[in-house]
Protein backbone atom coordinates (compact mmCIF):
# COMPACT_ATOMS: atom_id res chain seq x y z
CA UNK A 1 0.00 0.00 0.00
CA UNK A 2 1.42 3.36 -1.01
CA UNK A 3 2.14 5.81 1.73
CA UNK A 4 0.42 9.21 1.74
CA UNK A 5 2.70 12.04 0.60
CA UNK A 6 3.88 14.39 3.29
CA UNK A 7 2.80 18.01 3.34
CA UNK A 8 6.38 19.11 2.58
CA UNK A 9 6.61 16.92 -0.52
CA UNK A 10 3.27 18.20 -1.79
CA UNK A 11 4.39 21.77 -1.22
CA UNK A 12 7.69 21.15 -3.03
CA UNK A 13 5.88 19.62 -5.99
CA UNK A 14 3.55 22.59 -6.20
CA UNK A 15 6.41 25.06 -6.05
CA UNK A 16 8.34 23.27 -8.79
CA UNK A 17 5.26 23.16 -11.02
CA UNK A 18 4.66 26.87 -10.48
CA UNK A 19 8.30 27.67 -11.26
CA UNK A 20 8.20 25.57 -14.43
CA UNK A 21 4.98 27.27 -15.53
CA UNK A 22 6.49 30.70 -14.90
CA UNK A 23 9.68 29.86 -16.82
CA UNK A 24 7.67 28.48 -19.74
CA UNK A 25 5.43 31.55 -19.74
CA UNK A 26 8.42 33.91 -19.61
CA UNK A 27 10.13 32.15 -22.50
CA UNK A 28 6.90 32.13 -24.54
CA UNK A 29 6.29 35.81 -23.82
CA UNK A 30 9.85 36.69 -24.92
CA UNK A 31 9.59 34.75 -28.16
CA UNK A 32 6.13 36.13 -28.93
CA UNK A 33 7.46 39.64 -28.38
CA UNK A 34 10.05 39.02 -31.10
CA UNK A 35 7.67 37.56 -33.68
CA UNK A 36 5.98 40.82 -34.83
CA UNK A 37 9.31 42.09 -36.14
CA UNK A 38 9.25 39.27 -38.68
CA UNK A 39 6.68 41.20 -40.70
CA UNK A 40 9.27 43.91 -41.32
CA UNK A 41 11.21 41.44 -43.41
CA UNK A 42 8.40 39.85 -45.37
CA UNK A 43 5.76 42.58 -45.63
CA UNK A 44 7.66 45.85 -45.59
CA UNK A 45 10.81 47.13 -47.26
CA UNK A 46 13.43 44.73 -45.99
CA UNK A 47 16.27 45.76 -43.73
CA UNK A 48 19.85 46.94 -43.86
CA UNK A 49 22.99 46.11 -41.92
CA UNK A 50 26.04 48.37 -41.70
CA UNK A 51 29.28 47.03 -43.20
CA UNK A 52 32.55 48.18 -41.67
CA UNK A 53 36.17 47.22 -42.05
CA UNK A 54 37.68 45.64 -38.98
CA UNK A 55 39.02 48.20 -36.55
CA UNK A 56 42.74 48.54 -36.13
CA UNK A 57 42.84 48.05 -32.37
CA UNK A 58 44.06 51.57 -31.75
CA UNK A 59 46.92 51.29 -34.23
CA UNK A 60 47.62 54.32 -36.41
CA UNK A 61 48.37 52.46 -39.63
CA UNK A 62 49.52 54.08 -42.84
CA UNK A 63 47.59 53.60 -46.07
CA UNK A 64 50.28 51.17 -47.22
CA UNK A 65 49.90 49.09 -44.06
CA UNK A 66 46.13 49.01 -44.54
CA UNK A 67 46.57 47.82 -48.13
CA UNK A 68 49.03 45.14 -47.01
CA UNK A 69 46.72 43.91 -44.27
CA UNK A 70 43.86 43.74 -46.74
CA UNK A 71 45.62 42.00 -49.60
CA UNK A 72 48.62 40.00 -48.42
CA UNK A 73 47.00 37.27 -46.32
CA UNK A 74 44.70 36.35 -49.19
CA UNK A 75 47.16 36.08 -52.07
CA UNK A 76 46.73 32.35 -52.36
CA UNK A 77 43.22 31.99 -51.04
CA UNK A 78 41.09 32.08 -54.17
CA UNK A 79 38.53 29.48 -55.07
CA UNK A 80 39.80 26.12 -56.19
CA UNK A 81 38.23 22.88 -57.28
CA UNK A 82 40.43 19.83 -56.89
CA UNK A 83 40.33 17.24 -59.68
CA UNK A 84 36.71 18.06 -60.40
CA UNK A 85 35.69 16.66 -57.01
CA UNK A 86 32.95 18.80 -55.51
CA UNK A 87 32.76 17.06 -52.13
CA UNK A 88 33.90 20.28 -50.47
CA UNK A 89 32.89 23.88 -51.03
CA UNK A 90 35.75 26.33 -51.47
CA UNK A 91 35.38 30.06 -51.13
CA UNK A 92 37.88 32.81 -51.79
CA UNK A 93 37.71 34.24 -48.31
CA UNK A 94 40.32 33.41 -45.72
CA UNK A 95 38.70 34.84 -42.62
CA UNK A 96 40.05 36.29 -39.45
CA UNK A 97 43.72 36.67 -40.36
CA UNK A 98 43.76 40.18 -41.75
CA UNK A 99 42.25 43.55 -41.04
CA UNK A 100 40.41 44.25 -44.27
CA UNK A 101 37.40 42.01 -43.99
CA UNK A 102 34.00 43.65 -44.08
CA UNK A 103 32.09 42.94 -40.90
CA UNK A 104 28.38 43.06 -40.22
CA UNK A 105 26.75 42.92 -36.81
CA UNK A 106 23.97 40.52 -35.96
CA UNK A 107 22.61 38.99 -32.78
CA UNK A 108 22.07 35.30 -32.21
CA UNK A 109 20.07 33.31 -29.70
CA UNK A 110 17.46 33.97 -27.02
CA UNK A 111 18.20 36.33 -25.40
CA UNK A 112 20.16 37.75 -28.34
CA UNK A 113 23.93 38.23 -28.13
CA UNK A 114 25.66 40.54 -30.63
CA UNK A 115 28.49 39.25 -32.83
CA UNK A 116 30.55 40.65 -35.71
CA UNK A 117 30.48 38.42 -38.76
CA UNK A 118 32.22 38.53 -42.14
CA UNK A 119 29.98 38.96 -45.19
CA UNK A 120 30.81 36.59 -48.05
CA UNK A 121 28.89 36.23 -51.32
CA UNK A 122 31.22 33.43 -52.40
CA UNK A 123 29.93 30.80 -49.97
CA UNK A 124 26.64 29.56 -48.56
CA UNK A 125 27.07 28.47 -44.97
CA UNK A 126 26.36 30.79 -42.06
CA UNK A 127 28.55 29.74 -39.16
CA UNK A 128 29.82 31.00 -35.84
CA UNK A 129 32.41 29.72 -33.39
CA UNK A 130 30.58 27.82 -30.64
CA UNK A 131 31.16 26.44 -27.17
CA UNK A 132 28.70 23.87 -25.85
CA UNK A 133 29.93 23.97 -22.25
CA UNK A 134 28.46 25.87 -19.33
CA UNK A 135 31.05 28.61 -18.84
CA UNK A 136 31.35 31.24 -16.14
CA UNK A 137 30.91 34.83 -17.25
CA UNK A 138 34.48 35.92 -16.60
CA UNK A 139 35.87 33.10 -18.77
CA UNK A 140 33.65 33.73 -21.79
CA UNK A 141 35.15 35.06 -25.01
CA UNK A 142 33.23 37.84 -26.78
CA UNK A 143 33.48 36.24 -30.23
CA UNK A 144 32.14 32.82 -29.17
CA UNK A 145 28.48 31.75 -29.09
CA UNK A 146 27.71 29.78 -25.93
CA UNK A 147 24.83 27.48 -26.82
CA UNK A 148 23.83 26.78 -23.21
CA UNK A 149 22.95 30.47 -22.78
CA UNK A 150 20.25 30.38 -25.46
CA UNK A 151 16.67 29.19 -25.03
CA UNK A 152 16.13 28.82 -28.78
CA UNK A 153 19.18 26.75 -29.82
CA UNK A 154 18.48 23.34 -31.36
CA UNK A 155 20.55 20.88 -33.37
CA UNK A 156 19.48 19.47 -36.72
CA UNK A 157 19.35 15.70 -37.18
CA UNK A 158 21.09 13.85 -39.97
CA UNK A 159 17.71 13.20 -41.54
CA UNK A 160 17.26 16.94 -42.12
CA UNK A 161 17.05 18.03 -45.73
CA UNK A 162 19.46 20.89 -45.00
CA UNK A 163 22.03 18.43 -43.64
CA UNK A 164 21.93 16.67 -46.99
CA UNK A 165 22.81 19.97 -48.71
CA UNK A 166 26.22 20.06 -47.06
CA UNK A 167 29.07 18.63 -49.14
CA UNK A 168 30.91 16.91 -46.28
CA UNK A 169 28.94 15.52 -43.33
CA UNK A 170 29.33 12.84 -40.67
CA UNK A 171 26.19 11.12 -39.46
CA UNK A 172 27.41 8.56 -36.98
CA UNK A 173 25.36 10.25 -34.27
CA UNK A 174 21.91 11.81 -34.07
CA UNK A 175 23.02 15.30 -35.05
CA UNK A 176 24.41 16.58 -38.36
CA UNK A 177 28.17 17.18 -38.17
CA UNK A 178 29.77 19.15 -41.02
CA UNK A 179 33.21 20.03 -42.37
CA UNK A 180 33.34 23.18 -44.53
CA UNK A 181 36.52 24.36 -46.26
CA UNK A 182 37.66 27.77 -47.50
CA UNK A 183 40.66 29.20 -49.29
CA UNK A 184 41.59 26.18 -51.37
CA UNK A 185 41.29 24.00 -48.28
CA UNK A 186 43.74 25.88 -46.05
CA UNK A 187 40.95 27.04 -43.73
CA UNK A 188 38.00 25.05 -42.48
CA UNK A 189 35.31 24.99 -39.85
CA UNK A 190 33.88 21.83 -38.37
CA UNK A 191 30.88 21.57 -36.12
CA UNK A 192 27.18 20.84 -35.81
CA UNK A 193 24.43 22.11 -38.08
CA UNK A 194 21.85 23.79 -35.85
CA UNK A 195 18.96 26.27 -35.82
CA UNK A 196 18.77 29.61 -34.04
CA UNK A 197 17.08 32.98 -33.99
CA UNK A 198 19.06 35.67 -35.80
CA UNK A 199 18.40 39.36 -35.16
CA UNK A 200 19.35 42.19 -37.52
CA UNK A 201 18.67 45.48 -35.77
CA UNK A 202 15.03 45.18 -34.75
CA UNK A 203 14.25 42.36 -37.19
CA UNK A 204 14.31 38.86 -35.70
CA UNK A 205 14.14 35.75 -37.87
CA UNK A 206 13.60 32.38 -36.17
CA UNK A 207 14.93 28.94 -37.05
CA UNK A 208 17.81 29.90 -39.32
CA UNK A 209 20.11 26.97 -40.04
CA UNK A 210 23.75 27.69 -39.24
CA UNK A 211 27.00 25.95 -38.49
CA UNK A 212 27.94 25.83 -34.83
CA UNK A 213 31.70 25.64 -35.32
CA UNK A 214 33.44 23.84 -32.48
CA UNK A 215 36.65 23.05 -34.37
CA UNK A 216 37.91 25.97 -36.44
CA UNK A 217 41.34 26.64 -37.94
CA UNK A 218 43.95 27.92 -35.50
CA UNK A 219 44.29 31.22 -37.34
CA UNK A 220 40.66 32.17 -36.66
CA UNK A 221 41.04 35.16 -34.36
CA UNK A 222 39.04 38.04 -32.95
CA UNK A 223 37.15 40.19 -33.68
CA UNK A 224 35.27 38.00 -36.13
CA UNK A 225 32.86 35.43 -34.75
CA UNK A 226 32.12 33.71 -38.05
CA UNK A 227 30.90 34.12 -41.62
CA UNK A 228 27.53 34.95 -43.17
CA UNK A 229 27.28 33.13 -46.50
CA UNK A 230 25.25 34.94 -49.16
CA UNK A 231 25.81 32.53 -52.04
CA UNK A 232 23.21 30.85 -54.23
CA UNK A 233 22.90 27.65 -52.19
CA UNK A 234 19.95 26.78 -49.95
CA UNK A 235 21.98 27.25 -46.76
CA UNK A 236 22.78 30.89 -47.52
CA UNK A 237 21.11 33.66 -45.53
CA UNK A 238 19.27 35.04 -48.56
CA UNK A 239 17.68 31.76 -49.58
CA UNK A 240 16.76 30.85 -46.01
CA UNK A 241 14.98 34.20 -45.73
CA UNK A 242 13.21 33.38 -49.00
CA UNK A 243 14.15 36.81 -50.31
CA UNK A 244 14.61 37.44 -54.01
CA UNK A 245 16.59 40.68 -53.68
CA UNK A 246 19.67 41.69 -51.80
CA UNK A 247 22.41 44.20 -52.37
CA UNK A 248 25.55 45.62 -50.87
CA UNK A 249 27.78 48.63 -51.17
CA UNK A 250 31.46 48.22 -50.26
CA UNK A 251 33.15 51.39 -48.96
CA UNK A 252 36.56 52.64 -50.05
CA UNK A 253 39.33 50.49 -48.60
CA UNK A 254 41.52 53.59 -48.25
CA UNK A 255 39.11 55.16 -45.77
CA UNK A 256 38.48 52.86 -42.82
CA UNK A 257 36.17 55.45 -41.24
CA UNK A 258 33.61 55.08 -44.01
CA UNK A 259 30.97 52.37 -43.90
CA UNK A 260 28.93 50.41 -46.38
CA UNK A 261 25.67 48.53 -46.23
CA UNK A 262 24.14 45.12 -46.80
CA UNK A 263 20.50 45.43 -47.86
CA UNK A 264 18.07 42.52 -47.80
CA UNK A 265 14.49 42.53 -49.01
CA UNK A 266 12.56 44.50 -51.58
CA UNK A 267 14.81 47.55 -51.17
CA UNK A 268 11.89 49.83 -51.97
CA UNK A 269 13.27 52.58 -49.77
CA UNK A 270 16.23 52.99 -52.13
CA UNK A 271 14.10 53.35 -55.28
CA UNK A 272 16.71 51.36 -57.20
CA UNK A 273 14.90 51.73 -60.52
CA UNK A 274 14.98 55.52 -60.17
CA UNK A 275 18.70 55.79 -59.47
CA UNK A 276 20.59 57.45 -62.30
CA UNK A 277 23.06 55.31 -64.21
CA UNK A 278 21.90 51.85 -63.09
CA UNK A 279 23.18 49.08 -65.38
CA UNK A 280 21.80 45.53 -65.41
CA UNK A 281 23.30 42.27 -66.66
CA UNK A 282 22.01 38.68 -66.51
CA UNK A 283 23.16 36.23 -63.85
CA UNK A 284 24.36 32.89 -65.18
CA UNK A 285 24.01 29.55 -63.42
CA UNK A 286 26.90 27.12 -63.28
CA UNK A 287 25.34 23.77 -62.41
CA UNK A 288 28.71 22.39 -61.27
CA UNK A 289 29.55 25.44 -59.13
CA UNK A 290 26.05 26.40 -57.96
CA UNK A 291 27.04 28.71 -55.10
CA UNK A 292 28.55 31.48 -57.22
CA UNK A 293 27.07 34.45 -59.07
CA UNK A 294 28.43 34.11 -62.60
CA UNK A 295 28.28 36.96 -65.12
CA UNK A 296 28.81 37.10 -68.86
CA UNK A 297 31.93 39.22 -69.49
CA UNK A 298 32.16 39.95 -73.21
CA UNK A 299 35.27 42.09 -73.30
CA UNK A 300 37.50 44.78 -71.78
CA UNK A 301 38.41 48.23 -73.07
CA UNK A 302 41.26 50.44 -71.88
CA UNK A 303 40.95 54.02 -73.04
CA UNK A 304 39.60 53.90 -76.58
CA UNK A 305 41.10 50.48 -77.26
CA UNK A 306 38.96 47.37 -77.05
CA UNK A 307 41.33 44.53 -76.30
CA UNK A 308 41.47 41.61 -78.78
CA UNK A 309 40.49 39.07 -76.14
CA UNK A 310 39.46 35.72 -77.57
CA UNK A 311 35.80 34.88 -77.08
CA UNK A 312 36.57 31.71 -75.14
CA UNK A 313 38.57 33.57 -72.44
CA UNK A 314 35.55 34.22 -70.25
CA UNK A 315 33.16 31.57 -71.55
CA UNK A 316 31.66 29.12 -69.08
CA UNK A 317 32.21 25.48 -69.96
CA UNK A 318 28.91 23.82 -69.10
CA UNK A 319 30.40 20.31 -69.32
CA UNK A 320 33.02 20.59 -66.58
CA UNK A 321 32.05 23.90 -64.91
CA UNK A 322 35.36 25.57 -65.71
CA UNK A 323 35.88 29.05 -67.11
CA UNK A 324 33.50 31.95 -66.83
CA UNK A 325 33.65 34.82 -64.34
CA UNK A 326 31.82 35.29 -61.07
CA UNK A 327 31.48 38.26 -58.73
CA UNK A 328 32.61 37.80 -55.12
CA UNK A 329 32.77 40.13 -52.12
CA UNK A 330 35.30 37.87 -50.40
CA UNK A 331 38.05 38.06 -53.05
CA UNK A 332 39.91 41.40 -52.91
CA UNK A 333 41.82 41.29 -56.21
CA UNK A 334 40.14 40.54 -59.54
CA UNK A 335 41.58 37.49 -61.27
CA UNK A 336 41.42 37.36 -65.06
CA UNK A 337 42.00 34.47 -67.44
CA UNK A 338 45.71 34.60 -68.22
CA UNK A 339 45.64 35.47 -71.93
CA UNK A 340 43.17 38.30 -71.22
CA UNK A 341 45.25 39.51 -68.29
CA UNK A 342 48.39 39.62 -70.43
CA UNK A 343 46.59 41.87 -72.93
CA UNK A 344 45.46 44.15 -70.08
CA UNK A 345 49.05 44.50 -68.87
CA UNK A 346 50.40 45.24 -72.34
CA UNK A 347 47.81 47.93 -73.01
CA UNK A 348 48.28 49.66 -69.65
CA UNK A 349 52.04 49.76 -70.21
CA UNK A 350 51.39 51.33 -73.62
CA UNK A 351 48.93 53.95 -72.36
CA UNK A 352 50.27 54.95 -68.93
CA UNK A 353 53.17 57.32 -69.40
CA UNK A 354 55.26 56.06 -66.49
CA UNK A 355 58.29 53.77 -66.25
CA UNK A 356 57.48 50.19 -65.29
CA UNK A 357 58.85 49.06 -61.95
CA UNK A 358 61.40 46.39 -62.84
CA UNK A 359 60.51 43.48 -60.60
CA UNK A 360 58.89 40.13 -61.25
CA UNK A 361 56.32 40.91 -58.59
CA UNK A 362 55.81 43.13 -55.57
CA UNK A 363 55.72 41.84 -52.01
CA UNK A 364 51.95 41.62 -52.35
CA UNK A 365 52.07 39.62 -55.57
CA UNK A 366 51.28 42.45 -57.99
CA UNK A 367 53.22 41.90 -61.20
CA UNK A 368 52.60 45.25 -62.91
CA UNK A 369 53.75 48.34 -61.04
CA UNK A 370 54.73 51.83 -62.23
CA UNK A 371 57.23 54.31 -60.83
CA UNK A 372 55.97 57.78 -60.07
CA UNK A 373 58.23 60.62 -61.10
CA UNK A 374 59.73 62.58 -58.25
CA UNK A 375 57.54 65.45 -57.11
CA UNK A 376 54.46 64.21 -58.98
CA UNK A 377 51.60 62.73 -57.00
CA UNK A 378 49.54 59.79 -58.16
CA UNK A 379 46.44 61.98 -58.45
CA UNK A 380 48.28 64.13 -61.00
CA UNK A 381 48.98 61.22 -63.35
CA UNK A 382 46.56 60.70 -66.23
CA UNK A 383 45.23 57.17 -66.42
CA UNK A 384 42.96 55.66 -69.08
CA UNK A 385 39.38 54.59 -68.53
CA UNK A 386 39.07 50.91 -67.69
CA UNK A 387 35.83 49.36 -68.87
CA UNK A 388 34.34 45.90 -68.36
CA UNK A 389 31.84 44.96 -71.07
CA UNK A 390 29.26 42.74 -69.41
CA UNK A 391 26.27 41.41 -71.32
CA UNK A 392 24.08 44.51 -71.76
CA UNK A 393 26.00 46.62 -69.24
CA UNK A 394 29.34 48.44 -69.31
CA UNK A 395 31.11 49.14 -66.02
CA UNK A 396 33.68 51.95 -65.90
CA UNK A 397 36.29 51.67 -63.16
CA UNK A 398 37.80 54.72 -61.51
CA UNK A 399 41.52 54.74 -60.76
CA UNK A 400 40.90 53.62 -57.16
CA UNK A 401 39.09 50.58 -58.51
CA UNK A 402 41.91 49.22 -60.62
CA UNK A 403 45.18 50.81 -59.42
CA UNK A 404 46.60 50.77 -55.90
CA UNK A 405 49.20 53.19 -54.57
CA UNK A 406 51.27 50.42 -53.09
CA UNK A 407 54.04 52.47 -51.51
CA UNK A 408 55.54 55.91 -51.93
CA UNK A 409 56.54 56.33 -55.55
CA UNK A 410 54.92 53.10 -56.75
CA UNK A 411 51.43 52.24 -58.05
CA UNK A 412 50.29 48.77 -59.05
CA UNK A 413 47.54 47.16 -61.08
CA UNK A 414 45.04 45.66 -58.62
CA UNK A 415 44.42 42.61 -60.78
CA UNK A 416 46.21 39.33 -61.34
CA UNK A 417 46.15 36.41 -63.73
CA UNK A 418 43.88 33.57 -62.68
CA UNK A 419 45.52 30.20 -62.29
CA UNK A 420 42.21 28.75 -61.17
CA UNK A 421 39.28 27.32 -63.06
CA UNK A 422 37.43 30.65 -63.26
CA UNK A 423 37.95 34.40 -63.37
CA UNK A 424 36.77 36.42 -60.36
CA UNK A 425 35.52 39.99 -60.13
CA UNK A 426 36.84 41.06 -56.73
CA UNK A 427 35.99 43.60 -54.06
CA UNK A 428 38.68 46.19 -54.90
CA UNK A 429 36.86 46.65 -58.19
CA UNK A 430 33.55 46.94 -56.31
CA UNK A 431 34.48 49.85 -54.03
CA UNK A 432 31.70 52.47 -53.86
CA UNK A 433 29.55 50.42 -56.19
CA UNK A 434 26.00 49.51 -55.21
CA UNK A 435 25.53 45.91 -56.36
CA UNK A 436 21.98 44.52 -56.44
CA UNK A 437 21.21 40.82 -56.92
CA UNK A 438 17.69 40.12 -58.18
CA UNK A 439 17.30 36.36 -57.88
CA UNK A 440 13.71 36.45 -59.10
CA UNK A 441 14.70 38.02 -62.41
CA UNK A 442 18.19 36.40 -62.42
CA UNK A 443 19.91 39.76 -62.90
CA UNK A 444 22.65 41.79 -61.28
CA UNK A 445 22.49 45.59 -61.30
CA UNK A 446 25.15 48.09 -60.33
CA UNK A 447 25.58 51.84 -60.03
CA UNK A 448 28.46 53.99 -58.69
CA UNK A 449 27.45 55.15 -55.20
CA UNK A 450 28.97 56.83 -52.16
CA UNK A 451 28.32 53.92 -49.85
CA UNK A 452 28.45 55.91 -46.62
CA UNK A 453 25.63 58.12 -47.93
CA UNK A 454 23.14 55.33 -48.63
Express each pLDDT in 46-56 by its tens digit: 788 999 876 55
pLDDT of residue 136: 72
Query: Three-state secondary structure along 388-405?
Result: EEECCEEEEECHHHCEEE
161 plus 280 within the same structural domain: no
CATH code of residue 436 = 2.40.70.10
Active site residue 328: yes
Residues in the chain: 454
CA distance 22 to 333: 55
Whole-angstrom distance, CA of residue 405 vs CA of residue 430 = 17
Q: Is residue 28 part of a domain?
A: no
Domain boundary among 228, 263, 298: 263
Are the C-beta atoms of residues 150 and 128 closer than 8 Å to each other?
Answer: no
The sign of the dihedral angle between the CA atoms of 99, 401, 262, 281 is negative
Q: Where are the alpha helices (DSSP H) in 243-320?
A: none
ω into residue 111 within 30 of 0, thus cis? Answer: yes
Same structural domain for residues 75 and 171? yes
**Is pLDDT at 78 greater than 80 in this prediction?**
no
Please check whether residues 175 and 288 belong to one and the same domain.
Answer: no
Residue partners of 226: CB distance under 8 A and separation at least 6:
115, 117, 118, 126, 127, 128, 129, 189, 211, 213
How confident is the model at residue 272, as a pLDDT? 64
Which member of 101, 120, 149, 396 is catalytic?
Answer: 120
| Residue finishing a domain among 215, 232, 263 | 263
Q: Are 258 and 285 part of one and the same domain?
A: no
Same domain, 302 and 215: no
pLDDT at 220: 55
- Check: CB of residue 406 under 8 Å from CB of residue 369: yes
Q: State the first-to-last Cα distance of the chain, in angstroms, to the nearest integer.
A: 77
Give me the residues paired with residue 435 across strands. 248, 446
Is 256 found in the same domain as 275?
Answer: no
Number of domains into which the chain is organized = 2
Say if residue 375 is exposed, middle or buried (CB neighbours under 10 Å; 0-12, 13-18, 19+). Answer: exposed
- Please indicate, yes or no, if residue 434 is contained in any of the structural domains: yes
Question: What ranges in 197-326 are assigned the alpha helix state H?
Answer: 237-240
- Among 263, 279, 297, where does a domain finish? 263
In a domain, 65, yes or no: yes
The answer to whether residue 248 sits within a structural domain is yes
- The pLDDT, as a whole number, for residue 69 is 59
Active-site residue identified among 97, 98, 101, 328: 328
Whole-angstrom Cα distance, residue 363 to residue 65? 12
The answer to whether residue 22 is domain-embedded is no
Distances (CA, A) of 50 to 81, 126, 223, 380: 32, 18, 16, 33
394 has catalytic annotation? no
Assess whether 163 and 100 both reside in one domain: yes
pLDDT of 71:
58
Measured distance CA(330)–CA(94) in Å, rounded: 8
242 and 387, same domain (yes or no): no
Residues 6+ apart with CB under 8 A from 138: none
Confidence (pLDDT) at 214: 80
Q: Which residues pair with 356 in a beta bridge?
A: 370
Answer whether residue 58 shows pLDDT above 60: no
pLDDT band for 9, please (50, 70, 90 cuts): very low
| Residue 10 resides in a domain | no
Taking the C-alpha atoms of residue 342 and residue 81, their distance in angstroms, rounded to an integer, is: 24
Distances in Å between the Cα of 253 and the Cα atoms of 225, 401, 404, 405, 439 are 21, 10, 10, 12, 28
**Domain containing residue 298:** 271-453
pLDDT of residue 17: 41
The stretch 292-321 carries a mean pLDDT of 96
Taking the model in full, what pTM does it have? 0.82
Is there a single domain that holds both residue 371 and residue 419? yes
Residue 330 and residue 208 in one domain: no
Q: For residues 398 and 255, which has the higher predicted lDDT (pLDDT)? A: 398
Please check whether residue 265 is in contact with residue 440, taking contact to mean a CB–CB distance below 8 angstroms.
no
Residues 383 and 275 in one domain: yes
pLDDT tens-digit map of 403-433: 988 777 889 999 999 988 899 999 999 999 9
Could you read off the pLDDT of 139-166 as tens digits, one per residue?
788 889 999 999 999 999 988 999 988 8
Q: Decide if 16 is inside a domain.
A: no
Chain-wide mean pLDDT for the chain? 79
In a domain, residue 25? The reply is: no
Question: What is the rounded distance in angstroms from the CA atom of residue 368 to the CA atom of residue 365?
Answer: 9
Give pLDDT, residue 217. 61
Alpha carbon distance 310, 386 (integer Å): 18
Same-domain status, 297 and 425: yes
Amino acid sequence: MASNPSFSSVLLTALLATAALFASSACSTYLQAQEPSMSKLHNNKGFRVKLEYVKYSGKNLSRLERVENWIKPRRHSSLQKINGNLNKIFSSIRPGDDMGDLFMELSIGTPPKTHSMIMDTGSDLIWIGCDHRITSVHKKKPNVFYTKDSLSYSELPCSSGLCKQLPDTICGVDYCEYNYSYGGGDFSTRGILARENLTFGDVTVPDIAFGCGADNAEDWTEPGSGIVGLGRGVLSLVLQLKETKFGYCLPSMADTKSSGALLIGELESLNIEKLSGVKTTPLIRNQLEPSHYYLSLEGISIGKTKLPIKKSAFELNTEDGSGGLYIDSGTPITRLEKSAYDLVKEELIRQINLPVYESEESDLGFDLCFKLQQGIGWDEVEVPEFRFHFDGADLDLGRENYMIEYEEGQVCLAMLASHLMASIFGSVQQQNLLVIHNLGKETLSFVPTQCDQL
